[in-house]
Amino acid sequence: MDKILAAAQNIATARRNRAPLAALPPELAPADEAEGYQIQRAVHDLLLPQTGALVGYKIGCTSPVMQEYLDIPHPCGGGVFAKGVHDSGAKLRFGDYVRVGVECEIAVRLARNLAPSEAPFTAEWVMEAIEAYHLAIEIVDDRYVKWETMGAPTLVADDFFAAGCVLGKAVARTKAPDLLTAKGRAVVNGKEVGRGTGADVLGHPHNALAWLANHLAEEGAGLHAGQIVLTGSLVKTVWLDQGDSVKMELEGLGTVTATFA
């Protein structure tokens, strides 16, 4: 059995069992992030029966606060799956996660495909492909015995903490606020726990989307009309306790809520 598949089976088994993943055996650990993404694609194939179809992507490590927190100086991507996407007001089971956290994100929904043949992409180019924005709660799951020791390639292989999202109402691109200056905040149990602006996401969320489109194009893959992309957190990850009630707010995009009971 090849290394990629064996590593993917290790990760997929841990995720199915909600068992914290210790480091992969040295002979299976990805040598670099490129190998991490190969393993990630194999993990997606193995988990499809549980997760439903791939419906988009999340981009992590797009803000200075998150790059510093994770000690990774550049963005990383992971998958978003049909069964992990919820509408605002969702009541989620705290026990469905190993150690659940939330982030305040601007999500985009694409109006058209971004094919690899069109690369390189710029922020201006990808903006034209956006149909609508959603304020989103990204759900992240610390599925590790100790994430600090895992290394970026292994975190990438396991979808970089991705565990789904809760989406607020769609706001058409033509009606959206200036995302650069729009202020967002994260509120847990009525108390503010973080705030930021669209400028915190690689200078602008469209820069993050362009990064993802270019990253996928290098692998011969593209983005597709209707897919959702979570562009990165405006705030540092907030780890939750059972029963917590979460609300994200962003000027011009409204609010989105969820409880973890």
Tell me the mean pLDDT per 10 residues along the chain, length 261.
94 96 94 97 97 97 93 96 98 97 98 97 97 98 94 96 98 96 97 96 97 97 98 96 98 97 95
Angle between helix axes 3-16 and 33-51 (nearest 10 degrees) is 50
CATH homologous superfamily of domain 53-260? Fumarylacetoacetase-like, C-terminal domain (3.90.850.10)
Confidence (pLDDT) at 250: 97
Confidence (pLDDT) at 1: 67
pTM of the shown model: 0.97
- The residues, any chain, with a CB within 8 Å of residue 241's CB and separated by 6 or more, are none
- The backbone torsions φ and ψ at residue 68, rounded to the nearest 5 degrees and listed phi first, read -70, -45
Confidence (pLDDT) at 99: 97
Extents of the domains making up the chain: 53-260
Q: Is 108 helix (H, G, I), strand (E, B) or coil?
A: strand
**AA letter at 201:** V
Confidence (pLDDT) at 159: 98
Relative to beta strand 254-260, strand 228-233 is: unpaired
